[in-house]
Amino acid sequence: MKRIAYVCVDPGVPVFGTKGASVHVQEIVRAWRNRGAEVTVYCTRPGDDIPADLADLPVVVVPVKGKGADREASQAQAAAELAERVVKDGASAVYERYSLFSDALARVTEQLGVPGFLEVNAPLIDEQRIHRTLHDEAAALTALRAQVAAAARTVCVSDPVTAWVQARVGEEHHERIRTVANGVNVRRIRPSEEAPGMPVVAFVGTLKPWHGVETLIKAQASGSREWTLRIVGDGPQGAELRSLAASVHADVEFTGAVAPEMVPGVLAGCSIAAAPYPQTSAESDQYFSPLKIYEYCAAGLPVVASRVGQVPHIIDDGVTGLLVEPSDPAALAQALDGLAAAPLARAAMSSAARRAATEHHSWDTVLDRITEEVHP
């Protein structure tokens, strides 16, 4: 049996959490286990929202401590300690979610002589410098270069992330860097019948500015009023968005945060899903590969989404959903009003969205693309 060491040194990503990054960790672990592999997770933050099917997953924890520069040093030390544990335990391959200051994959592959897969989800060095504080950028860059140099395959969730990595490493490594978009658990998330009555439009995600939920609330308030809105999730903007909904008299249900395994239940009965990403100052900000859109498609929901970043590569406009201009409540309302009034169009899009998810975007398919030509 293949033994896979899954490494996540990022203290901002709990393995057993409800955020998108946590879902990503869990689904890649499931995909490896679906192949019959024995997986052990090595991390800095385990979390405590443990799904039943992962209750038996072995987890090794080395916490990150301190603040500022001390925290960065602690993260590097945690990577070294976790790598040492992987070497001691043994593995057929190491799969690491890229994080700042970690060179764990490089250490493991050198000592065990096994293939390494590095998964890059964001330009973390830039994010840390711009949005938080980065004390030792040189160390972060050195770690990234060591990881890419050691990895048999570096996979990035979008072309902008691929370009970001390639710009920071030697050209000799470029051919081993590939774009592999995110996926969805098509076994867990399945279509359901629409609930009777007024169509329900769903949004699932953390309530943060870069999800554009305020545009969706304004669209509900200014549109036909022939559909209702269900917002699944919570976050820093929660209170502000609830206040906005009340002030514009929008017909909105806020469910609050839910565990990932509860998402199929809250999507059940919905008619349409929305991904109202806002306009940003630079196209480079739209580097994400949105998990929520893949989940919407798996649930057989037509998706009305902003025409930004990678979204047009996922949604086939007029086939699996509709694309609208970002940060435009009127355009979003028009698209949602139209679908709410067109049950036959919704049904056709529902079938097409589910088919796209199962044929092209399952996590098993994603892992096949990641490991193609590299066999642990």
Q: What tens digit of pLDDT does each residue of 172-224 get?
A: 999 999 999 999 999 999 999 999 999 999 999 989 998 999 999 999 999 99
Is 282 a residue whose pLDDT tops 70? no
> How far is the C-alpha of 372 from the C-alpha of 179, rounded, in Å?
12
Backbone angles phi, psi at 310, to 5 degrees: -85, -5
> How far is the C-alpha of 316 from the C-alpha of 129, rounded, in Å?
35
Show the CA angle centred on residue 153, arms to residues 147 and 157, nearest 5°: 90
Largest CA distance in the chain: 63
> How far is the C-alpha of 76 from the C-alpha of 72, rounded, in Å?
6
Mean pLDDT calculated for residue range 279-291: 73
Q: Roughly what angle, to the nearest 10 degrees, separates helices 68-89 and 104-112?
A: 20
CB atoms within 10 A of CB 275: 24
The secondary structure element, H or E, covering residue 31 is helix 20-34
Model confidence over 28-54: pLDDT tens digits?
999 999 999 999 999 999 999 899 999
Is 248 a residue whose pLDDT tops 60? yes
Is 110 a residue whose pLDDT tops 70? yes
> How far is the C-alpha of 366 from the C-alpha of 369, rounded, in Å?
5
